[in-house]
């Protein structure tokens, strides 16, 4: 790497890739070649920088210049100005939304200031398709250290002392999981990496696999050494073609270097990794379902015990870890358990990667120490709510999680505090909602997802969630009653208690947590037939503005149900009890006097009706 004077790092993550970062990469290379600079300036495609909102991202080293929304047509200017003349292209620099000043150095960006990157340590710095770059950043050193300096039980002890817990959602202590798998004797054992990231809006696992696949392979080998397994399997979603491609390259390169395969690093330890593909089933993120899917069966969960550590893939002891959990392992072994456990809160150590999405200014991937507050994440790192709207809630943990509201903004985030607040860590998706979002509709959206994804094996989840979804549909259509609200709560708690697997046990969370935090919205839908955000179409009303209506009678004539009353040259009124919301009046009105409102002047409407009737 040293012979290059300047490095251009182009983000090659899925987000930037979708907005033509590939073309930016090609154009930069072409332009350098044209100028004869290809020996001095290196262009590489990295993993995700996390700042997906303003992609494609181009970072220039050594001066840390951070260009955003780079288009292929900008390549020439960047080479001419920045590389040749040494002048930054100001229009492409990130602009601080508060000071409205250009921020030349990425270290000065609020987005990065509060982050601490352990799992994402190499994302956006290395070329994930080149193992040499990974090795230059200490890849496979931890494996070497474990193989030569520690026994398997010492390694497990180190992981236990670090306090690392599963990042896939439930937060089970990783070291303990390994210990259980290690203690179960069998002729064959398996290490499985769960890369079936099904939670919509969460993309940390994909970004790690795309940006730093070797960290996961290395951790799997370390796990294999600890529990006595020689075979590793990565169960990855088929929807992640880029991650699959890079994993395949990484596995081949590691095998070539002898870092996977027989007698790794000369030690008496052999380990190899193969890929298994998911096929679009959310429930396969559950470990027993995942194992069945890997065996070529329907991905239905089964009762625990037996736990996978006792009887998993092909009936053998199997250790299943999430991608992000694994990505932490090499760093812990190299830097020590004490270093890792010094970060975070008392019971949740280290960092967590969150995917920020929804109505937030800086959509992207962030890694922060446990114990950070929601306020810091949303307002400092996330840059606040989009378009200056009012913050309403943040949905954490995806379809299994719940929402946190303004009153939770200053709670330090860790596994326990999120559970106490009625949500969960989950995979780490954070969807920010603003005042324009209807919480009843959001709950309905998640239930719709669950109904689609429920495997159907157990009745509480299969039938119960369907009923929850129908009841929510009734409420958003303005046909709900007070009984329906009670039904939601009762049914929700039954589903929680009686479902077979983690999917069903957490599926009513979006409903229960919105009931807890936004009861007033449910009541408005049910009693006032009103949706304050205007999201529920059935609760919108055609209203004639008194000021704008000139009384031309066009709407009255076109109304199929004769819901409109009013004399010529006088403001007309729509009788909401008769209106069927066909919209014909609004289409006919030439004076823009008719609009859709989430409420209508009830008293005056009745009064107007009495007048016309009398």
Partner 1 sequence: MSQKINIAPEAFEYMEKVTGAGGVEVKVNLPKEKIEKINSICDAFGNDPGELINVLHEAQHAFGYIPAEIQDIVAHNLHMPVSQVYGVVTFYTFFSMTPKGEHPVSVCTGTACYVRGAERVLEEFRKELQLEVGETTPDGRFSLNCLRCVGACGLAPVVLVGEKVYGRVSPDGVKAIIEEYKK
What residue ranges bind partner 1 (CB under 8 A)? 14-15, 18-19, 52-55, 198-203, 206-207, 238-240, 276-282, 293-299, 314, 355, 357-359, 363-364, 395, 398, 429, 431, 433, 437, 442, 445-446, 449, 455
3-state secondary structure of 43: strand
In whole angstroms, how close is the CB of 396 to partner 1 at the nearest point?
11
In whole angstroms, how close is the CB of 97 to partner 1 at the nearest point?
16
Residue nearer to partner 1 on the CB measure, 298 or 527: 298
Residue nearer to partner 1 on the CB measure, 150 or 277: 277
**In sequence order, what are the residues at sequence separation of 6 or more whose Cβ sits closer than 8 angstroms to the Cβ of residue 420?**
none
In whole angstroms, how close is the CB of 357 to partner 1 at the nearest point?
4
* Residue whose structure tokens are 């290196």: 42
Residue nearer to partner 1 on the CB measure, 4 or 277: 277
3-state secondary structure of 368: strand
Residue nearer to partner 1 on the CB measure, 125 or 207: 207
Q: Residues 170, 502: contact at Cβ < 8 Å?
A: yes
Q: Residues 103, 95: contact at Cβ < 8 Å?
A: yes
- Of 535, 374, 543, 577, give the one whose Cα is nearest residue 443: 535
In whole angstroms, how close is the CB of 159 to partner 1 at the nearest point?
29
3-state secondary structure of 285: helix
Residue nearer to partner 1 on the CB measure, 52 or 559: 52
In whole angstroms, how close is the CB of 364 to partner 1 at the nearest point?
6
In whole angstroms, how close is the CB of 139 to partner 1 at the nearest point?
24
Q: Residues 211, 120: contact at Cβ < 8 Å?
A: yes
Q: How does DSSP assign 376-428, residue by residue?
A: IIIIIIS-SBGGGPPEEEEEESGGG--EEEGGGTTSBPSHHHHHHTT---TT-
In whole angstroms, how close is the CB of 514 to partner 1 at the nearest point?
14
**In sequence order, what are the residues at sequence separation of 6 or more whose Cβ sits closer than 8 angstroms to the Cβ of residue 422?**
402, 509, 512, 513, 516, 517
Residue nearer to partner 1 on the CB measure, 305 or 388: 388
In whole angstroms, how close is the CB of 212 to partner 1 at the nearest point?
16
Structure tokens of 575?
């009788």
Q: Tell me the C-alpha to C-alpha distance, in Å, between residue 586 and each of 37, 320, 542, 561, 570.
A: 63, 58, 8, 14, 17
Bridge partner list, 431: 357, 395
Structure tokens of 282?
């959310």
Structure tokens of 438?
């209807």
Look at phi and psi of residue 536 and say left if phi exceeds 0, alpha if psi is from -120 to 50, else beta: beta
In whole angstroms, how close is the CB of 277 to partner 1 at the nearest point?
6
**What span, in angstroms and rounded, lies between the C-alpha atoms of 561 and 546?**
21
Structure tokens of 11?
């983000």
In whole angstroms, how close is the CB of 366 to partner 1 at the nearest point?
13
Residue nearer to partner 1 on the CB measure, 357 or 564: 357
Residue nearer to partner 1 on the CB measure, 192 or 357: 357
In whole angstroms, how close is the CB of 278 to partner 1 at the nearest point?
8
In the chain the first and final C-alpha atoms are separated, in Å, by 89
- Of 106, 2, 119, give the one whose Cα is nearest residue 58: 106
Residue nearer to partner 1 on the CB measure, 370 or 442: 442
In whole angstroms, how close is the CB of 299 to partner 1 at the nearest point?
7
Residue nearer to partner 1 on the CB measure, 79 or 433: 433
Residue nearer to partner 1 on the CB measure, 266 or 280: 280
**What span, in angstroms and rounded, lies between the C-alpha atoms of 512 and 593?**
41
In whole angstroms, how close is the CB of 368 to partner 1 at the nearest point?
18
**What span, in angstroms and rounded, lies between the C-alpha atoms of 277 and 249?**
16
> Which backbone phi and psi does 287 adopt, to 5 degrees?
-65, -35
Residue nearer to partner 1 on the CB measure, 13 or 480: 13
Residue nearer to partner 1 on the CB measure, 19 or 606: 19
Per-residue burial over 278-306, b if 16 or more Cβ lie within 10 Å, else e, is beebbbbbbbbbbbbbbeeeebbbeeeee
In whole angstroms, how close is the CB of 296 to partner 1 at the nearest point?
4
Q: How does DSSP assign 205-267, residue by residue?
A: HHHHHHH-HHHHHHHHHHHHHHHT--EEEEEE-TT-HHHHHHHHHHHHHHHHTTSSBSSGGGS
∠ Cα 45 242 428 (to 5°) = 95
Residue nearer to partner 1 on the CB measure, 207 or 215: 207
Residue nearer to partner 1 on the CB measure, 11 or 223: 11
In whole angstroms, how close is the CB of 201 to partner 1 at the nearest point?
4
- Of 387, 361, 379, give the one whose Cα is nearest residue 54: 361
Bridge partner list, 276: 235
């Amino acid at each position: 790497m040293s012979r290059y004077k300047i490095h251009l790092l182009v983000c090659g993550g899925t987000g930037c890739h979708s907005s033509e970062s590939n073309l930016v990469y090609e154009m930069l290379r072409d332009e350098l070649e044209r100028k004869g600079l290809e020996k001095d300036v290196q262009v590489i495609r990295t993993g995700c920088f996390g700042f997906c909102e303003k992609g494609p991202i181009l970072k220039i080293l050594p001066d840390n210049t951070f260009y955003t929304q780079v288009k292929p047509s900008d390549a020439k200017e960047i080479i001419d100005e920045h590389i040749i003349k040494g002048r930054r292209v100001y229009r492409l620099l990130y602009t601080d939304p508060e000071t409205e000043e250009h921020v030349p150095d990425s270290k000065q960006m609020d987005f990065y200031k509060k982050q601490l990157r352990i799992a994402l340590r190499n994302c956006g710095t290395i070329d994930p398709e080149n193992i040499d770059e990974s090795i230059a950043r200490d890849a496979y050193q931890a494996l070497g250290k474990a193989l030569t300096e520690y026994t398997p039980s010492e390694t497990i002890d180190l992981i236990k002392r670090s306090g690392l817990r599963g990042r896939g959602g439930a937060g089970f202590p990783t070291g303990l999981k390994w210990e259980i798998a290690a203690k179960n004797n069998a002729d064959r054992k398996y290490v499985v990496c769960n890369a079936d990231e099904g939670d919509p809006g969460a993309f940390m696992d994909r970004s790690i696999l795309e940006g730093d696949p070797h960290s996961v392979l290395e951790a799997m080998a370390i796990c294999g050494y600890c529990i006595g397994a020689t075979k590793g399997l990565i169960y990855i979603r088929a929807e992640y073609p880029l991650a699959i491609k890079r994993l395949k390259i990484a596995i081949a390169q590691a095998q070539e270097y002898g870092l996977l395969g027989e007698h790794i690093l000369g030690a008496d330890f052999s380990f190899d990794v193969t890929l298994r593909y998911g096929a679009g089933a959310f429930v396969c993120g559950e470990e027993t379902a995942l194992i069945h899917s890997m065996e070529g069966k329907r991905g239905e969960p089964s009762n625990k015990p037996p736990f996978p550590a006792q009887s998993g893939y092909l009936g053998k002891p199997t250790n299943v870890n999430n991608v992000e959990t694994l990505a932490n392992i090499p760093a812990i072994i190299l830097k020590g358990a004490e270093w890792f456990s010094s970060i975070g809160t008392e019971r949740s150590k280290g960092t967590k990667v969150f995917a920020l999405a929804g109505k937030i200014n800086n959509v992207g991937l962030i890694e922060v120490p446990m114990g950070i507050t929601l306020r810091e994440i949303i307002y400092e790192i996330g840059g606040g709510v989009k378009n200056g709207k009012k913050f309403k809630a943040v949905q954490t943990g995806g379809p299994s999680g719940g929402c946190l509201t303004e009153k939770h903004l200053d709670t330090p985030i860790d596994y326990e505090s999120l559970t106490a607040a009625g949500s969960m860590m989950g995979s780490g998706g954070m969807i920010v909602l603003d005042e324009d979002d209807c919480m009843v509709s959001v709950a309905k959206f998640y239930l719709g997802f669950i109904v689609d994804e429920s495997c159907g094996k157990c009745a509480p989840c299969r039938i119960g969630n369907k009923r929850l979804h129908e009841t929510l549909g009734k409420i958003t259509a303005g046909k709900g009653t007070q009984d329906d609200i009670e039904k939601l709560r009762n049914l929700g708690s039954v589903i929680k208690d009686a479902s077979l697997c983690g999917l069903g046990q957490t599926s009513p969370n979006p409903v229960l947590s919105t009931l807890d935090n936004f009861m007033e919205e449910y009541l408005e839908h049910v009693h006032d037939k009103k949706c304050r955000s205007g999201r529920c179409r059935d609760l919108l009303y055609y209203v004639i503005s008194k000021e704008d209506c000139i009384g031309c009678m066009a709407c009255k004539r076109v109304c199929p149900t004769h819901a409109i009353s009013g004399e010529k040259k006088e403001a007309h009124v729509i009788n909401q009890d008769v209106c069927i919301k066909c919209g014909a009046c609004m289409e006919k009105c030439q004076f823009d006097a008719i609009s859709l409102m989430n409420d209508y002047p009830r008293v005056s409407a009745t009064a107007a009706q009495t007048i016309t009737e009398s």
